[in-house]
Structure 1
Amino acid sequence: MYKQETMEIYKSFFPEISKTCSRKPIKGLPQIGSSLGIKYPSSRDLPLHSGDIWLQGKRADEGAEGLWRIHDELYDLTDFISSHPGGSEWIRMTKGTDITEAFETHHIQETAQKLLPKYFEKKASKPRNYPFTFHENGFYRTMKRRIREEVVKIPQKFVRQSEMIVDSLFISYVLTAWLAAYSYNFWIGALAGVFLSYTAIAAHNFFHSRDNFRMHYFDFSMLSSREWRISHALSHHLYPNTISDMEISSLEPFFGWLPYKKHFLFKYMSMILGPIIYSLLFVASWIKTTISNVLVNGHIQWETLLPFTILFVQYFGTEQSFLSCVIIFSFIIGCASVHFSIVGVNAAHHHPMLFHDGDAPRPEEEMDFGVFQLDAVADRKEINSSHLLTITHFGDHALHHLFPTIDHGKLRFLYPIFIKTCEEFGVEWKCTTQLDLVKGQYQQLGRDVNELQPKKMKKIVE
């Protein structure tokens, strides 16, 4: 029943600062202002872009006073760390920061809201750094109430389908990686790279939720699930296309998607250098994460060693020399890195029709969190029609940004509520083609100024 109803909808509606942080910023990076009024992040231009350093910058900027800030109140969640259903890591690493957006989007049901009074400490002494609102009868919370009632009705079999997909992709990666080494065949190695890329993208569905073993499939790519819980889930997802979005800042100045005055070379050379940067992304991310773990945390996370278990499988499972296995393994990682980057960069966010910090902002009364997310996100018609495609290509992107902890297997059944609420409030859902997003990504790289004016809502709740 769910599948049939959803397809009908598709047919009808497709339109504390450490010594590391005391280093001087990189010279030559543009000081980009925020048209949203967000304070320029303390750690944004430091040489080492890492999640832990980004969090340290938030602690310096957000007036949480060493506690956890939610809206304009401060809470001491210390005693709750070990009992947090989603895992202790989420609470521990966000101490001293404003977790308003994370709290709102990660808790669909009301259980967490009811627990908060027990941990209340005091009112915050400073205004919030972010302009986003969560009015009870506003766009986001209205949709959240409706989603809350519907999501529990969706059968769990669709979640199990997501699990089967990512398990199958991971097994396919291991087998093809071994076979590529066994036969020393680079065509099979390229196939293994594609399987690894798809495994990482599908595993991204799982690191958004409570701790689970499938989230660690992501680590086999040389990216870090823990690092991405910060840079992606806590940064990009909550503040997309703003100066607080690590997925924007960590690729500057090679990719300058925000509309600031750019040097001619950075506007157009990025289009040429892209494939080179893509091929190095996984390895560079692994090096950065490892250095950050040592300098900031004082140790290496065990997950960063997972990628190399495949190298040992190749070496001990074949008669190839260690050097041959290293060559094949490196080739696989490079292919996966290129594929993952191409999919990710062109998935949803970089197009002249989407808001980028520096564009004309909405008026204060329209700064609903959900409305802002839809201003900065697009979906692709050809991707959203399939569970397999959405989980392996960052599909159902708007709904995923609004409710990131809901499994991709369930998201597609929430479109009737999503579209109804968008129509009720007059909020635009941007849905285009993959080709248009690819072209738009390059157009956005070349833009110095973007005078984008968001469409005015027809229903405003102040």
Structure 2
Amino acid sequence: GTDVTEAFEAHHLNPNTVKVLEKFYKRDAKTPRNSPFTFKDDGFYRTLKTKVWEEIQKIPNKESDRTAFICDSLLFTCLVSSTITCWAKDYWIVMLSYIVASVTMAWVIVAAHNYIHKRTSWRMYIFNIGLWSYRDFRVSHALSHHLYPNTLMDLEVSGFEPIVFWNPRKERPFYADYAVIIEQILFPFMFIMNFLKRFSLNFTRPGFFTQHYRWHDVM
């Protein structure tokens, strides 16, 4: 099977989840884990995890409602300003609403990213407004970047190679030193390129449309 130790440890702070996991015990693994992380009870990570859980209990429940209100407000502002941009005739009104729509869309995508880390909800679909896929992002971000940040196993770092190099390597092309410049040119087109790539896979990869493509991919 697939080793999901890092994913379990990172996404389940509540100690009660360990008791639930014990109900599904089958046997000890026959081979050692292919990972340098041990997650011992008296180790750094679980000690930190325990202290973080204690601090989280002090956060009022209304805080989650406040973040939801911010996300909803950004979405509402984005939709209204986008409508005004298409409807208005005055140049300055169009430009002002265009700027508001652009900024709020960027912000609401960032806000929707928070819900990708949580249980399934309608707010995670907002992420697709940016022509991205929340399902793909859950893999590259929640199950890769947050588990193995800034390592070779981090898809959001190594996945940009051989165009952008962030990982230190002995052998790499000369343009790797100019990653800070290349990424500024590449990133504005990444969302469009990703959408077109996934759309084209419907015609080039057998079974992609029926097995992977969903209604929210065409939002």
Asked if these proteins are the same fold (TM beyond 0.5), I'd say yes
- Which whole-Å deviations, capped at 9, do the CAs of 1:234-282 have from their partners, x for residues lacking one? 01100111111110122112210111132223322x4443333111111
Which residue in the other structure is 1:204 paired with? 113
Give the Cα separation in 2 of the matches to 1:130 and 1:100.
Answer: 10
Match of residue 218 from structure 1: 127
Residue among 97, 122, 125 paired with 2:30: 125
User: Unaligned regions of 5+ residues in structure 2, if any?
Assistant: none
Residue 267 in 1 paired to residue 177 in 2?
Answer: yes
Report the Cα distance in structure 2 between the residues aligned to 1:212 and 1:164, rounded to whole angstroms. Answer: 14
Q: Give the equivalent residue in structure 1 for 2:72.
A: 167
Runs of 5+ in structure 1 lacking a partner? 1-63, 65-96, 307-462
Give runs of aligned pairs for residues 89-100 of structure 1, distance below 5 A.
97-100=2-5
Tell me the distance in 2 between the aligned counterparts of 1:277 and 1:193: 18
| Counterparts of residues 215-364 of structure 1 (less than 5 Å) | 215-260=124-169, 261-268=171-178, 270-291=179-200, 295=205, 297-299=208-210, 300-306=213-219
Shift of 1:284: 1.4
Shift of 1:148: 2.5
Q: In the superposition, relative to structure 1, how do residues 216 and 235 fare at CA in structure 2: closer, same or farther (>3 Å)?
A: same
The amino acid across from 1:142 in the alignment is T
**Residues 297, 126 of structure 1: alpha-carbon distance in 2 compared, 3 angstrom cutoff:** farther
Q: Return the structure number with greater relative CO, CA threshold 8 A, min gap 6.
A: 1
Aligned partner of 1:142 in structure 2 is 47
Residue matched to 1:335? none
Amino acid at match of 1:179: I
Aligned to 1:182: 87
- Amino acid corresponding to residue 190 of structure 2 in structure 1: L
Q: Residue 291 of structure 1: CA displacement?
A: 4.8
* Residues 117 and 190 of structure 1: CA distance in aligned 2, closer, same or farther (over 3 Å): same
Shift of residue 162, structure 1, vs aligned partner:
0.6
- Shift, 1:163, TM fit: 0.6
Alpha-carbon distance in 2 for matches of 1:291, 1:207: 25
Identify if the C-alpha distance between structure 1 residues 142 and 174 changes in structure 2 by more than 3 Å, giving closer, same or farther.
Answer: same
**Cα deviation per residue 1:283-324 (whole Å; 9 max; x = unaligned)?**
112233445577365421111122xxxxxxxxxxxxxxxxxx
The alignment's TM-score, normalised by the length of structure 2, stands at 0.86
Shift in alpha-carbon separation, 1:106–1:271, aligned structure 2, 3 A: closer
Alpha-carbon RMSD = 2.1
Q: Answer whether contact 1:219 1:303 (CA < 8 A) is retained.
A: yes
Are 2:158 and 2:167, in contact at CA under 8 Å, matched by a contact in 1?
A: no
- Deviations for 1:135-170, whole angstroms, at most 9, x for unmatched residues? 101222112223323322321111111111111111
- How big is each residue's C-alpha offset from its partner over 1:88-107, in whole Å with a ceiling of 9 and x where there is no partner? xxxxxxxxx21101101111
Give TM-score, length-normalised by structure 1: 0.43
2:74 maps to amino acid: L
Deviation at 1:110, TM superposition (A): 2.3
Question: Which amino acid in the other structure matches residue 212 of structure 1?
Answer: S
Change in 2 beyond 3 A, CA 1:200/1:119: same
**Structure 1 position 118, deviation (Å):** 2.5
Aligned residues: 210
Q: Is the 8 A contact 1:218 1:225 kept in 2?
A: yes
